[in-house]
Copies of this chain bind each other. A is one copy, B any other.
Amino acid sequence: MKPTYQPNAEFDLSLTRVVDVPRALVWRAWTDPDLLKPWFCPLPWKTIDCEIDLRPGGAFRTTMQSPEGERFHNEGCYLEITAGEKLVWTNTLLAGYRPSVIATTCGSDDVGFPFTAMVELADHPDGTRYTATVIHADTAGRDTHARMGFNDGWGKALDQLVAMIKAGS
């Protein structure tokens, strides 16, 4: 089993859980837009649009909608893809590795902050070991993200992902 990324406690946030669903289906839920939309935002928020260009330099775009109908557009760029095992993307770059104006000029505030995210999957006797890590530029970025509810948000999204897979099996 490959070692997972070792988070830096000062700058990173990380979530590890064992989920009782097959690794291949977790991977599909992260890489097929139709399978990502149902679980990606903790309800009552919704992911109403998603584009996945699954290659280094390819776009990862989502549009989220609040219960009040407000829309938020997110765009990032895939950096590393190891099928079934590891997915890395960042919001500091857009498609084709172009630096993102939003992520590179607004610094760390409650609207946005630069990050690189990494999802790592490994086989486990009880299903799949799931590790999600978000790498920030500094402690301010980490703290902003923690205040926004990283653990709760990524945890609830994972619950929704697992429920979707179980409902489909």
List A residues at the B interface (Cβ < 8 Å).
11, 56-57, 79-80, 88, 90, 92-93, 96-101, 103-105, 107, 114-116, 118, 135-138, 141
Q: Is the Cβ of A90 less than 8 Å from the Cβ of B97?
A: yes
How far, in angstroms, from A57 to B89 measured CA to CA in the complex?
11
How far, in angstroms, from A118 to B100 measured CA to CA in the complex?
17
Q: List B contacts of A99 (CB < 8 A).
A: 90, 92, 103, 114-116, 135-137, 141
Q: List B contacts of A80 (CB < 8 A).
A: 56-57
**Distance of A85 from chain B, by nearest CB (Å):** 15
**Distance of A140 from chain B, by nearest CB (Å):** 9
How far, in angstroms, from A115 to B98 measured CA to CA in the complex?
7
Closest to A101 in B: B137
**Distance of A48 from chain B, by nearest CB (Å):** 27
Partner of A90, one of B11, B93, B103: B93
